[in-house]
């Protein structure tokens, strides 16, 4: 057999072995939903959350995410319409350059629905940058300002990434979102703080306190995007939801907690540091996540169990609409622990006049699939439309 034949065989064997590991003993093994995680402590209610709100915000900054940077008023330096032919066939697209002082600048790519009424907005914190969200990565859509993960850098890899992590891992369903009457605004928060240790620390030093983690900075970026969008009368400032999955799901939760102007929060498969307890029940541990991504969190999170737990974080969103979701093979995100967090939080929402956090479990592993967006749009139709 020629050498390239042996190489191909080795690649196939490696791929099959990795897939077998992933689905049998790895992070995509089936989750046993009959198991129960411990009830998170302390027990909370509306009175304790209301009385302790400011102290809880301080504790989450000190123990988990780092200090929220001071706001910098965004300046929309340019707004550029992009024709459908230059946007991969997506209609009513424009992109903005938003400058935020010493923090730098980020881009927003927006697709508006038909009609002239002020549109509600889904602010999506994307993972591979705005350009990757459009078919064939059109050159008219700006790419990331700086660092981006290697598998985000070439459209040749997109079919493989989407096969593994879902059809919508790079791009939202633009047509479906428009049909429901929403604008979608895409922000790659890595434009401000790149998702790699050395680059993240250098970027944070320009505008944030020394303990600020990237998750808090990405939440800060979401708030600056909110302010930019709210300044445009074509968008309804009272109906802007923040949306994220995985690490961006964590950032979406933090953004919603620290910025009450967001009308709703959607955080999918957010796991440790998101809707799963810091006191690990299953899946990725606090030690593992801070070893792999130390720049995401405050330094204290790596060394000391926080004095607060994530059911308190979710309760700080009450009574605003909250949607969380998991995959039935996404054990790495600890959906059983997340269920305990959600159940401990739900009474606070009811006591404050809201509905319990909406939730769903879909088939599959970590990623963004059609079901995730179906649930998102149904949730927003029920909870955010006037």
pLDDT at residue 15 tops 60:
no
**Model confidence at 56, in pLDDT bands (50, 70, 90)?**
very high
Query: Any idea where the domains of the chain sit in the sequence?
Result: 1-30, 35-383
* Burial bucket for residue 302 (CB in 10 Å: 0-12, 13-18, 19+): middle
State the average pLDDT for the chain. 93
- Convert 232-258 to b/e letters by CB count within 10 Å (16 or more is b): beebbbebbbbbbbbbbbbbbbbbbbb
User: pTM surpassing 0.85?
Assistant: yes
Q: Are 110 and 183 in contact (CB under 8 A)?
A: yes
Q: Please give the pLDDT value at position 10.
A: 65
106 φ/ψ sector (left φ>0, alpha ψ -120 to 50, else beta): beta
**Res. 200 pLDDT band, cuts 50 70 90:** very high
What's residue 149's pLDDT?
A: 86
Task: Specify whether the CB–CB gap between 228 and 108 falls below 8 A.
Answer: yes
Element spanning 346, H or E = helix 335-351
pLDDT at position 170: 93
Q: Which two tokens stand for residue 59?
A: 């504790």
- 12, pLDDT greater than 70: no
Tens of pLDDT along 330-371?
Answer: 999 999 999 999 999 999 999 999 999 999 999 999 999 999
Average pLDDT over residues 211-226: 98
Mean per-residue pLDDT, 293-298: 98
pLDDT of residue 29: 73
- 123-166 tens-digit pLDDT: 999 999 999 999 999 999 999 998 888 888 888 888 888 888 99
Fold classification of 35-383 (topology level): Rossmann fold (3.40.50)
Asked if residue 8 has pLDDT above 80, the reply is no
């Amino acid at each position: 057999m020629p050498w390239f034949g042996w190489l191909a065989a080795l690649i196939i064997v490696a791929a099959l072995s990795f897939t077998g590991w992933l689905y049998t003993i790895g992070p995509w093994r089936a989750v046993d939903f009959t198991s129960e995680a411990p009830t998170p402590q302390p027990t909370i209610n509306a009175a304790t959350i209301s009385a302790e709100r400011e102290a809880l915000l301080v504790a989450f900054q000190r123990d988990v995410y780092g200090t929220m940077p001071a706001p910098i008023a965004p300046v929309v330096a340019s707004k550029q319409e992009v024709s459908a032919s230059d946007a991969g066939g997506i209609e009513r697209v424009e992109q903005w350059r938003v400058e935020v002082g010493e923090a730098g600048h980020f881009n927003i790519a927006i697709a508006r629905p038909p009609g002239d009424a002020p549109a509600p907005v889904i602010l999506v914190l994307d993972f591979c940058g705005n350009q990757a969200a459009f078919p064939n990565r059109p050159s008219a859509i700006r790419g990331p300002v700086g660092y981006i993960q290697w598998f985000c850098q070439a459209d040749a890899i997109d079919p493989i990434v989407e096969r593994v992590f879902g059809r919508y891992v790079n791009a939202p369903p633009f047509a479906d979102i428009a049909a429901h009457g929403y604008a979608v605004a895409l922000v790659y928060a890595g434009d401000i703080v790149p998702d790699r240790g050395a680059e993240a620390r250098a970027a944070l030093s320009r505008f944030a306190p020394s303990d600020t983690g990237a998750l808090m900075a990405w939440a800060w970026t979401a708030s600056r995007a909110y302010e930019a969008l709210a300044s445009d009368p074509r968008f309804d400032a009272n109906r802007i939801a923040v949306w994220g999955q995985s690490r961006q799901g964590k950032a979406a939760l933090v953004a919603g907690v620290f910025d009450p102007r967001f009308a709703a929060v959607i955080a999918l498969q957010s796991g440790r540091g998101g809707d799963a307890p810091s006191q690990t029940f299953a899946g990725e541990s606090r030690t593992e996540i801070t070893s792999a991504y130390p720049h995401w969190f405050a330094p204290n999170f790596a060394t000391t169990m926080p004095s607060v737990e994530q059911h308190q974080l979710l309760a700080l969103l009450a009574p605003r609409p909250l949607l969380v979701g998991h995959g039935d093979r996404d054990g790495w995100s600890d959906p059983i622990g997340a269920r305990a967090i959600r159940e401990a939080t739900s009474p606070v929402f009811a006591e404050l006049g809201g509905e319990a956090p909406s939730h769903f479990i879909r088939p599959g592993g970590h990623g963004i699939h059609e079901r995730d967006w179906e649930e998102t749009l149904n949730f927003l139709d029920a909870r955010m439309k006037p």
